[in-house]
Structure 1
């Protein structure tokens, strides 16, 4: 594929898949921990109720699947946009950055398009798959471990204020070697928002203030460290998806 936005279209290269084995993800946050989590991130401006939809903690078995090592880039999106008549959403100098500003339906359409060309059933990851790929087999808080460290993800605290080249923070990799699971671009999943079974009674049944009902994960360059948490459930709460940094990565069934 050409790595220049607006350049001549070429067939897409193979996706750099990471194989995630079947296993159990320790999904979410224990109800007993919600108060301490809210206190730990109070300095970010995150409200306590935002964390309550992560509860309760549950061990969820996730079948084996594949997930792309990095999010879809501007150059990869440009090939699709050129082929399908969709707008190219970023400048040529950002070809290796994650594409942002993509509506959920267009992200799903990209999955269908690239899957047809590769002969693979490509899709967006489910919320449980995303957390499994980020968290691995334990209950770590961040993809890289239990403690937050500045410089392992492109988040607000770095002061960059925009996206960076995908894969720029290898020390922030998940246990399976998946990159950019925190920061850079907030990522669509295929899962529509709903409370987890057994959630606290005050967790809303519907987030009717969201621009789109699908869950996003990981946080973007504009977000604080609370969005870098593996358990953090987010969403597109503004219509300007580029401003809030919404992008996506690919998933598929096990090879």
Structure 2
């Protein structure tokens, strides 16, 4: 094939693909094969078709950000430039790479490991996709709910709910998807738990694909939260100033955990109500410098990326699922290794919070037992008697409960969190600054926040627990602090 013909063919394909939904390119697609070969060019495929558990999704080439082909029974995964995630089976079996100055390259899908697509300059278009779906297998995409009425059997009997009255719909799947429990949060704050009597909810994606999602496969449905045409990261009931949000880029272009910058100041640490444990006494005044802390506990998705990059073994998820669930079965040493890896990948300084930093962030500027007050309220946390869908069963995906006044999720319950400090029986030796207690080797490290299997007394903001730094458990994870420049 002559160079002139190849160049003409590439130009003709560019014209063809531009009519399929994009105006021009700002770079090259990168195709990585399973044998390690890497090719740069343009993938000549106008649309990518994925057969999911809920129907077929067809995504225009110009909206593609990443295609990851699964191995050993794992699904294929598509990420779009809007941030949508879909998993399933790619229907195209061969793709063609267009390469300037080189012959065109047909590649069998079975030979591809992943494709990173160049960002495209899109023609302006408004997508009516105000709702967000998260499934049990961690698909996450913007959509529009078609079903107008949802029928639920609650403790009070049959309840007919108009979808326009719903703010959030959470589902926990039990017995490997054979059964489930659901919770509706209405626009006026009413919370109802039960089970839907209809089999599925009908939605339409921003790309025009209509899907039937069984309730047993649904994890969360958030209605009327995506107000812009471009998909943004969904932070449920976000209360923070966007200027305080920090999300560092890694060397490969992927993003680190979202963080909130918190101003420093003084606060009283420990048991302020007089009914806490002895290790929370006496209360002590602490002064802290500004720092940033994770909005969520570190998730399996984030930790698995660390494992893939370093060859580290992935922790067991207890059969609860990975993705957006907080990573469990990680030791204090594992948490520090992740922080060091993230620091290298971003060029910023990440570490575990000190015990004082953690309590300051968890309280969110309050001095009550819990960040929401002194009394137990339903569906504020995941613990053994907190009235949540997951209590005494398993962890909840991050962000399923309202954030505290600082915008942090799950500082009460769900999973204990490692902090930097060595364990001490009380605060009598505290120096009044933010230096972690103890240095070097110590027998036990502090864990904070309570967990899904612990009673509500243990999810108080002042509550402290301890564990061996080498121990891994299904009730312990971590969130990170990012240090701020002076």
Q: Give the TM-score normalised by structure 2.
A: 0.43
**Equivalents in 2 of 1:147, 1:115: separation in Å?**
39
- Measured at CA, do residues 93 and 2 of structure 1 come closer, stay the same or move farther in structure 2, by a change above 3 Å? farther
Closer, same or farther: CA 220–237 of 1 in aligned 2, 3 Å = farther
The residue correspondences of 1:145-160 to structure 2 (distance < 5 A) are: 145-157=373-385, 158=388, 160=390
Q: Which of 262, 265, 272 does residue 20 from structure 1 map onto?
A: 262
Query: Any idea what SS the aligned residue of 1:15 has?
Result: coil
Matched, 1:246 2:476: yes
1:197 CA drift (Å): 1.6
Q: Conserved in 1, the CA contact under 8 Å of 2:336 and 2:351?
A: yes
**8 Å contact from structure 1 (residues 24, 137) kept in 2:** no
Task: Give the unaligned 5+ runs of structure 2.
Answer: 1-65, 78-112, 115-251, 431-441
Correspondence for 1:63: 289
Output aligned runs, 1:184-203, within 5 Å.
184-194=414-424, 195-197=426-428
Aligned length: 224
Alpha-carbon distance in 2 for matches of 1:193, 1:12: 35
CA contact (8 A) 2:330 2:476 kept: yes
Structure 1 position 236, deviation (Å): 2.4
Greater per-residue helix proportion: 1
Give the CA deviation at 1:137.
3.1
Higher RCO (CA 8 Å, separation ≥ 6 residues)? 1
Q: What do residues 143-188 of structure 1 show as CA deviations (whole Å, max 9, x unaligned)?
A: 2223221311111123621111101002xx2221111101111000
| Corresponding position of 2:347 | 119
Deviation at 1:238, TM superposition (A): 11
1:25–1:135 CA contact under 8 A, matched in 2: no
Please identify which structure carries the higher strand content: 2
CA distance in 2, matches of 1:2, 1:102: 29
| Inter-CA distance 27–83: structure 2 relative to 1 (3 Å threshold) | same
Conservation of the 8 A alpha-carbon contact between 1:26 and 1:137: no
How do residues 157-172 of structure 1 correspond to structure 2 at under 5 angstroms? 157=385, 158=388, 160=390, 161-170=393-402
Q: Residue 2 of structure 1 contacts residue 75 of structure 1 at CA under 8 Å; is this kept in 2?
A: no
Alpha carbons of structure 1 residues 85 and 14: separation in structure 2 relative to 1, 3 Å: closer
In structure 2, what is the equivalent of residue 137 of structure 1?
Answer: 365
Cα gap change, 1:238 to 1:251, in 2 (>3 Å): closer
What runs of 5+ residues in structure 1 fail to find an aligned partner? 39-50, 200-210
Shift in Å, 1:110: 0.0
Aligned to 1:134, the other structure's residue is in SS state: helix
Asked if 1:74 is matched to 2:317, the reply is no
Normalization by structure 1: what TM-score? 0.78
Aligned partners of 1:138, 1:85: CA distance in 2, in Å? Answer: 42
1:221-250 superposed Cα distances (whole Å, 9 cap, x missing partner): 11111111010011227986333x110001
Q: In structure 1, the residue corresponding to 2:280 is in which secondary structure?
A: coil
Evaluate the alpha carbon distance shift between residue 147 and residue 118 of structure 1 in structure 2; reply closer, same or farther with a 3 A threshold: same
CA contact (8 A) 1:125 1:189 kept: yes
Q: Indicate the SS of the match to 2:282.
A: coil
CA distance in 1, matches of 2:345, 2:443: 28
Structure 2 residue aligned with 1:178? 408
